[in-house]
Amino acid sequence: MTRPLLILFTLTLSFSAFSQTKMFINKTNGTSDSLNISDIKSITFKTYSSSITNGLVAYYPFNGDATDASGNGNNGTPSNCTPTTDRFGISNRAFSFNGTSSSIVCANGQSLQISADITVCAWIKTSTLPSSSKVVISKYDASDKGWLIDTPNNSTGTVMFDGRDSTHTYRSSTGATRIDDNKWHLVVGQRQGTTWAIFVDTALSAQSNVNNGSSIQNSAPLTIGAQSSGAGSTWWNGLIDDVRIYNRALSIDEIKALYHENGW
Protein backbone atom coordinates (compact mmCIF):
# COMPACT_ATOMS: atom_id res chain seq x y z
CA MET A 1 0.00 0.00 0.00
CA THR A 2 1.35 3.38 -0.96
CA ARG A 3 1.31 5.87 1.92
CA PRO A 4 0.02 9.38 1.06
CA LEU A 5 2.60 12.07 0.73
CA LEU A 6 2.35 14.71 3.49
CA ILE A 7 3.32 18.17 2.29
CA LEU A 8 3.30 21.35 4.37
CA PHE A 9 2.56 24.69 2.72
CA THR A 10 3.19 27.90 4.67
CA LEU A 11 1.61 31.18 3.58
CA THR A 12 2.28 34.43 5.45
CA LEU A 13 -0.55 36.96 5.66
CA SER A 14 0.16 40.41 7.11
CA PHE A 15 -2.72 42.15 8.88
CA SER A 16 -0.93 44.95 10.74
CA ALA A 17 2.41 46.67 11.13
CA PHE A 18 3.34 44.55 14.13
CA SER A 19 1.93 41.09 13.46
CA GLN A 20 1.59 38.48 10.77
CA THR A 21 -0.52 35.35 10.47
CA LYS A 22 0.87 32.17 8.94
CA MET A 23 -1.41 29.63 7.33
CA PHE A 24 -0.15 26.04 7.48
CA ILE A 25 -1.72 23.66 4.92
CA ASN A 26 -1.19 19.91 5.21
CA LYS A 27 -1.56 18.03 1.93
CA THR A 28 -1.89 14.31 1.54
CA ASN A 29 -1.48 14.10 -2.25
CA GLY A 30 0.12 15.89 -5.14
CA THR A 31 3.41 17.77 -5.07
CA SER A 32 4.74 20.82 -3.29
CA ASP A 33 4.21 22.80 -6.52
CA SER A 34 0.47 22.19 -6.72
CA LEU A 35 -2.51 22.71 -4.46
CA ASN A 36 -5.92 21.16 -5.06
CA ILE A 37 -8.79 21.51 -2.61
CA SER A 38 -9.31 17.76 -2.62
CA ASP A 39 -5.73 17.23 -1.44
CA ILE A 40 -5.98 19.41 1.69
CA LYS A 41 -5.91 17.49 4.95
CA SER A 42 -5.97 20.44 7.38
CA ILE A 43 -5.44 24.20 7.61
CA THR A 44 -3.98 25.86 10.70
CA PHE A 45 -3.57 29.58 11.37
CA LYS A 46 -0.98 30.93 13.78
CA THR A 47 -0.17 34.59 14.50
CA TYR A 48 3.32 35.84 15.31
CA SER A 49 4.15 39.40 16.34
CA SER A 50 7.25 41.36 15.50
CA SER A 51 8.95 43.61 18.01
CA ILE A 52 7.32 46.98 18.67
CA THR A 53 10.11 49.54 18.68
CA ASN A 54 8.33 52.91 18.51
CA GLY A 55 9.12 54.65 21.80
CA LEU A 56 11.20 51.72 23.11
CA VAL A 57 13.84 53.15 25.47
CA ALA A 58 15.03 49.93 27.15
CA TYR A 59 14.68 46.24 26.34
CA TYR A 60 16.15 43.32 28.28
CA PRO A 61 15.61 39.94 26.53
CA PHE A 62 18.00 38.34 29.07
CA ASN A 63 19.79 36.23 26.49
CA GLY A 64 22.46 35.18 28.95
CA ASP A 65 23.12 38.73 30.18
CA ALA A 66 21.36 42.03 30.95
CA THR A 67 22.35 43.98 27.84
CA ASP A 68 19.90 46.66 26.74
CA ALA A 69 18.85 45.47 23.27
CA SER A 70 17.08 48.75 22.46
CA GLY A 71 20.41 50.32 21.52
CA ASN A 72 20.12 53.06 24.17
CA GLY A 73 22.94 51.71 26.32
CA ASN A 74 20.96 51.18 29.53
CA ASN A 75 22.83 47.94 30.23
CA GLY A 76 22.25 46.13 33.50
CA THR A 77 24.52 44.42 36.00
CA PRO A 78 23.08 41.20 37.47
CA SER A 79 23.79 40.43 41.11
CA ASN A 80 23.05 36.96 42.48
CA CYS A 81 20.74 36.19 39.55
CA THR A 82 20.74 32.78 37.88
CA PRO A 83 20.15 32.28 34.13
CA THR A 84 17.20 29.97 33.60
CA THR A 85 14.71 28.62 31.07
CA ASP A 86 12.25 31.06 29.48
CA ARG A 87 8.54 30.55 28.75
CA PHE A 88 9.39 28.77 25.48
CA GLY A 89 11.58 26.21 27.22
CA ILE A 90 14.87 27.69 25.98
CA SER A 91 17.68 27.63 28.53
CA ASN A 92 19.65 30.72 29.55
CA ARG A 93 16.96 33.07 28.23
CA ALA A 94 15.53 34.41 31.53
CA PHE A 95 16.76 35.17 35.06
CA SER A 96 15.79 33.60 38.37
CA PHE A 97 15.70 35.90 41.43
CA ASN A 98 16.20 34.30 44.86
CA GLY A 99 14.01 36.60 46.97
CA THR A 100 16.82 37.67 49.31
CA SER A 101 19.66 39.29 47.35
CA SER A 102 19.03 39.12 43.58
CA SER A 103 18.68 42.23 41.45
CA ILE A 104 19.75 43.82 38.19
CA VAL A 105 20.78 47.47 38.37
CA CYS A 106 20.77 49.29 35.03
CA ALA A 107 22.37 52.46 33.76
CA ASN A 108 20.26 55.58 34.33
CA GLY A 109 20.54 56.89 30.78
CA GLN A 110 18.88 59.95 29.29
CA SER A 111 16.32 57.79 27.51
CA LEU A 112 14.97 56.68 30.91
CA GLN A 113 14.24 60.24 32.06
CA ILE A 114 10.53 59.88 31.38
CA SER A 115 8.26 62.49 32.90
CA ALA A 116 4.82 61.69 31.49
CA ASP A 117 3.34 58.73 29.57
CA ILE A 118 5.11 55.41 30.09
CA THR A 119 4.56 51.69 29.52
CA VAL A 120 6.55 49.10 31.50
CA CYS A 121 6.32 45.42 30.47
CA ALA A 122 7.76 42.25 31.98
CA TRP A 123 7.15 38.52 31.84
CA ILE A 124 7.11 37.04 35.34
CA LYS A 125 6.65 33.66 37.00
CA THR A 126 6.30 32.99 40.73
CA SER A 127 4.67 30.40 42.94
CA THR A 128 4.41 32.36 46.15
CA LEU A 129 3.80 35.95 47.20
CA PRO A 130 4.04 36.84 50.90
CA SER A 131 2.03 39.61 52.54
CA SER A 132 4.85 42.16 52.12
CA SER A 133 5.42 44.00 48.84
CA LYS A 134 7.77 42.42 46.29
CA VAL A 135 9.12 44.40 43.34
CA VAL A 136 9.34 43.24 39.72
CA ILE A 137 10.87 46.45 38.38
CA SER A 138 11.27 49.97 39.71
CA LYS A 139 12.67 53.41 39.12
CA TYR A 140 11.97 55.11 42.43
CA ASP A 141 14.37 57.49 44.17
CA ALA A 142 15.06 58.54 47.77
CA SER A 143 13.01 61.74 47.34
CA ASP A 144 9.94 59.50 47.09
CA LYS A 145 9.30 59.96 43.39
CA GLY A 146 9.05 57.43 40.58
CA TRP A 147 7.20 54.21 39.68
CA LEU A 148 7.14 50.47 40.34
CA ILE A 149 5.53 47.25 39.23
CA ASP A 150 5.18 45.38 42.52
CA THR A 151 2.79 43.41 44.68
CA PRO A 152 0.53 44.92 47.36
CA ASN A 153 1.11 44.56 51.10
CA ASN A 154 -1.37 41.73 51.47
CA SER A 155 -1.77 38.08 50.52
CA THR A 156 -3.98 38.51 47.45
CA GLY A 157 -1.32 37.26 45.02
CA THR A 158 -1.92 40.19 42.67
CA VAL A 159 0.25 42.84 41.07
CA MET A 160 0.08 46.65 40.88
CA PHE A 161 1.56 49.68 39.12
CA ASP A 162 2.18 52.51 41.56
CA GLY A 163 4.43 55.41 42.48
CA ARG A 164 4.59 59.10 43.28
CA ASP A 165 4.86 62.12 41.02
CA SER A 166 6.48 65.52 41.64
CA THR A 167 3.66 66.44 44.04
CA HIS A 168 4.68 63.38 46.13
CA THR A 169 1.09 62.20 45.92
CA TYR A 170 0.76 58.43 45.93
CA ARG A 171 -0.68 56.94 42.74
CA SER A 172 -1.65 53.31 42.39
CA SER A 173 -3.61 50.81 40.35
CA THR A 174 -3.94 47.37 41.94
CA GLY A 175 -4.97 44.45 39.78
CA ALA A 176 -7.43 41.69 40.63
CA THR A 177 -5.75 38.84 38.73
CA ARG A 178 -3.62 36.39 40.73
CA ILE A 179 -0.14 35.83 39.35
CA ASP A 180 1.26 33.46 42.01
CA ASP A 181 0.28 30.24 40.18
CA ASN A 182 3.77 29.25 38.96
CA LYS A 183 2.83 30.18 35.39
CA TRP A 184 4.26 32.82 33.08
CA HIS A 185 2.32 36.10 32.99
CA LEU A 186 2.86 39.31 31.06
CA VAL A 187 2.39 42.28 33.41
CA VAL A 188 2.16 45.78 31.96
CA GLY A 189 2.13 48.98 34.00
CA GLN A 190 1.06 52.11 32.20
CA ARG A 191 0.57 55.79 32.85
CA GLN A 192 -1.36 57.70 30.20
CA GLY A 193 -2.12 61.29 31.07
CA THR A 194 -3.84 61.14 34.47
CA THR A 195 -4.60 57.40 34.31
CA TRP A 196 -2.50 54.68 35.98
CA ALA A 197 -3.29 51.13 34.83
CA ILE A 198 -2.11 47.55 35.23
CA PHE A 199 -2.65 44.84 32.59
CA VAL A 200 -2.19 41.10 33.12
CA ASP A 201 -1.95 38.83 30.06
CA THR A 202 -3.45 41.54 27.78
CA ALA A 203 -6.49 42.17 30.00
CA LEU A 204 -6.93 45.47 31.85
CA SER A 205 -6.85 44.35 35.49
CA ALA A 206 -7.31 47.77 37.10
CA GLN A 207 -6.95 51.49 36.47
CA SER A 208 -7.25 54.68 38.48
CA ASN A 209 -7.55 58.35 37.53
CA VAL A 210 -5.74 61.14 39.36
CA ASN A 211 -6.27 64.88 39.49
CA ASN A 212 -3.17 65.82 37.52
CA GLY A 213 -0.36 64.37 35.48
CA SER A 214 2.70 65.72 37.28
CA SER A 215 6.18 64.53 36.37
CA ILE A 216 7.41 61.09 37.45
CA GLN A 217 11.00 61.75 36.32
CA ASN A 218 13.56 60.82 38.97
CA SER A 219 17.26 60.16 39.51
CA ALA A 220 17.06 56.53 40.61
CA PRO A 221 18.69 53.74 38.61
CA LEU A 222 16.35 51.36 36.86
CA THR A 223 16.29 48.23 39.04
CA ILE A 224 14.86 44.83 38.15
CA GLY A 225 13.92 42.45 40.98
CA ALA A 226 14.05 44.99 43.81
CA GLN A 227 13.21 48.58 44.69
CA SER A 228 15.65 51.19 43.41
CA SER A 229 15.94 53.21 46.62
CA GLY A 230 17.03 50.50 49.03
CA ALA A 231 15.88 46.95 48.42
CA GLY A 232 14.90 46.22 52.02
CA SER A 233 12.46 43.30 51.99
CA THR A 234 11.28 43.94 48.42
CA TRP A 235 13.42 41.29 46.69
CA TRP A 236 11.53 39.39 43.98
CA ASN A 237 11.31 35.60 44.36
CA GLY A 238 10.72 34.05 40.94
CA LEU A 239 11.57 34.45 37.27
CA ILE A 240 11.64 37.60 35.10
CA ASP A 241 12.13 37.91 31.36
CA ASP A 242 11.68 40.26 28.39
CA VAL A 243 11.53 43.57 30.23
CA ARG A 244 10.56 46.53 28.03
CA ILE A 245 10.08 50.22 28.78
CA TYR A 246 8.40 52.68 26.40
CA ASN A 247 8.16 56.46 26.64
CA ARG A 248 4.54 56.33 25.50
CA ALA A 249 1.32 54.49 26.25
CA LEU A 250 0.98 51.35 24.15
CA SER A 251 -2.42 50.52 22.66
CA ILE A 252 -4.23 47.36 23.71
CA ASP A 253 -3.47 45.88 20.28
CA GLU A 254 0.23 46.49 20.83
CA ILE A 255 0.07 44.87 24.26
CA LYS A 256 -1.64 41.86 22.70
CA ALA A 257 1.06 41.71 20.03
CA LEU A 258 3.77 41.60 22.70
CA TYR A 259 1.89 38.87 24.54
CA HIS A 260 1.69 36.70 21.41
CA GLU A 261 5.27 37.40 20.37
CA ASN A 262 7.01 34.39 18.81
CA GLY A 263 3.82 32.40 18.77
CA TRP A 264 2.97 32.38 22.51
Where along the chain do its domains lie?
7-49, 56-259
The rounded distance, in Å, linking the Cα atoms of 203 and 186 is 10
Three-class secondary structure of residue 160 per DSSP:
strand
In this structure, whether the domain defined by 56-259 belongs to CATH 1.20.1530.20 is answered with no
pLDDT along the chain (264 residues), means of 10: 43 42 50 57 53 94 96 96 97 96 93 94 92 90 86 87 82 87 97 93 90 80 88 86 98 96 90
Are the C-beta atoms of 168 and 213 separated by less than 8 Å? Answer: no
The rounded distance, in Å, linking the Cα atoms of 247 and 229 is 22
Q: What local confidence, expressed as pLDDT, does residue 147 receive?
A: 92
162-174 residue pLDDT tens: 888 787 777 878 8
Name residues whose C-beta falls within 8 Å of residue 263's C-beta, 6 or more positions apart in sequence: 46, 47, 48
This prediction has a pTM of 0.80
Phi first, then psi, for residue 252 (nearest 5°) are: -65, -35
115-144 residue pLDDT tens: 999 999 999 999 988 778 899 999 988 777
Element (H, E) at 257: helix 252-259
